Amino acid sequence: MTPRFIVIDTETTGFANNARVLELGMVFCEEGQVVDSFGQRFRPKGVDWDHPSVQRALSVNGINPNDLIGQPDFSEVADHINMLFSRYDIWVGHNISFDLRMIGNEYLRLGQQLRHNVTAMKVCTMEHDRLIHKHERSHKLVDAAERYGVKLSNAHTAVGDATATAELFLAMYNEGKFGPLFMERLHRFAAQEERLRNNPPTLSRVSTEAGLHSLAEVLEAEG
């Protein structure tokens, strides 16, 4: 049984901790296929749109500040986003640590936190591609996707990249690219999630074991 998982991607004003999220894409996968998606753009307050680092980021993601007029601030949809994250215990992304850092920083600005972040299991397809294809020069999404025959449409849009990442993860999964130790933990975590969905606990859940194991740690342990 293919685990249920969510795939995330962000488009931002840069890479530093003061960078802001301009677009969030979330793709929801069940039974080995994409079943739904969520995309939202934001117009954060206080951004210096003329700053060189912001201009460089916008030149990559193609977002124009004028395109964001009328879009909400992150604070206006923060609760809804937290709810969407909480529906899944397995989170996937291409360089997922960056996306979660950017999203987490948005919550910190609000004096909040991305709930479920500690207990969710994270899988990074870029990390996996780097470990398996050590001699390849690039592990960008477009190059990793090409290695697995995944078509990347609407590159550098959050939902487009998240959709390609979902297909990349499924290709890796179906082709047996994940080692046995990782697969065992993934399925154990998925089974635990299913049990908890069918029998919700009365106390807060703590599932730190799987959440603390990155893909790199698992593959390194497998030798």
Helix/strand number for the chain, H first, E second: 9, 5
- Distance in angstroms (rounded) separating the CA atoms of residues 88 and 112: 20
Tokens of 136: 């390849």
pLDDT digits (tens, 9 = 90+) for 177-216: 998 999 998 998 888 878 777 775 543 333 333 333 344 4
Q: Over 60: is that where the pLDDT of 217 sits?
A: no
pLDDT number for residue 219: 45
- Where does residue 62 fall: left (phi above 0), alpha (psi -120 to 50 degrees), or beta otherwise? left
For the chain, the first-to-last Cα distance in angstroms comes to 26
Q: What are the backbone angles phi and psi of residue 135, rounded to the nearest 5°?
A: -95, 0
Q: Has domain 5-221 been given CATH number 3.30.420.10?
A: yes
pLDDT per position as a tens digit, 115-149: 888 889 999 999 999 989 999 999 999 999 999 99
Residue 194: its pLDDT value, please?
A: 81
What was the pLDDT predicted at 117?
Answer: 87
Would strands 90-93 and 33-41 be described as parallel, antiparallel, or unpaired?
Answer: unpaired
Question: Average model confidence (pLDDT) for the chain?
Answer: 88
Taking only the tens place, the pLDDT of each residue in 58-83 is: 999 999 999 999 999 999 999 999 99
Whole-structure pTM value: 0.87
Q: How much of the chain exceeds pLDDT 90, in percent? A: 76
The residue ranges of every structural domain in the chain are: 5-221
